[in-house]
Amino acid sequence: MDYNRIAIVTGAARGIGAAVARRLASDGMAVAVLDLDESACIGVADSIKAAGGRSMAIGADVADESAVLHAVDRVVGELGAPTVLVNNAGIIRDNLLFRMSVEDWDAVMNVHLRGAFLMSRTAQAHMTKAGFGRIINLSSASAVGNRGQANYAAAKAGIQGFTKTLANELGKFGVTANAIAPGFIETEMTVATAERMGVSFENFKAEIAAQIPVGRTGCPADIAHAASFFASEAAGFVSGQVLYVAGGPVS
């Protein structure tokens, strides 16, 4: 591991993003913790600093081009040029197709796809200059299709095509691009899903775990382990791949 690497993790104020940010910091990277609300990122950044790492909290809407440019400029100024990017920022606006509004469709597409595009396009300039880069995009097991998630499933499937295209375009510059597709992960988002369904989270988890071959649901650390590998020097011959971290086959 090169201990001078600078990473940006989006959607990192909580859940999977926070776990990935802390893991990359423990791997020796300086980490920019980015989310829509900068104040929400401070706790994660402070925990990294308390453990002896370098970090900064930064607020930006990843779907806003000027905000992305400004955010990456701040990272360059305070930590250095980023050569690792984890596009994790995401939202859900679940509904059956006939009830789904155009606003809910656009909101999900903008954060997941436009956000990943803007962040990657901006960060890759630093990566290609350095001759080294790691872009890690968060897809989902829902990419294969999931009832009530036409917007989310389409966005997460799009992330996979986006990732493979980046791998083809950027490989000759020393930049890899890979995607992680989580299955059911215990986060605030899945807690909220259980609440919307009117069931306890423990019962919700138990029902899901019964359908997973390894017999348990996932946690943010499971995704952080995968991100750590993709971000490492050792993963230099792995690019354009989609890794399902779901406790079993996804179909």
Amino acid identity of 98?
A: F
Tell me how far apart the alpha carbons of residues 14 and 188 are, in angstroms, rounded to a whole number. 8
3-state secondary structure of 89: coil
3-state secondary structure of 90: coil
Q: Nearest CA to 161 among 196, 137, 194?
A: 137
HSE (side-chain half, CA atoms, 13 Å) at 37: 5
Q: Point out the catalytic residue in the list 152, 162, 204, 230.
A: 152
CB 231 within 8 A of CB 136: yes
Matching residue, tokens 């086959």: 249
HSE (side-chain half, CA atoms, 13 Å) at 138: 27
Q: Tell me whether residue 152 is one of the annotated catalytic residues.
A: yes
Cβ atoms within 10 Å of 76's Cβ, excluding its own: 14
The residues annotated with a catalytic role in the active site are 152
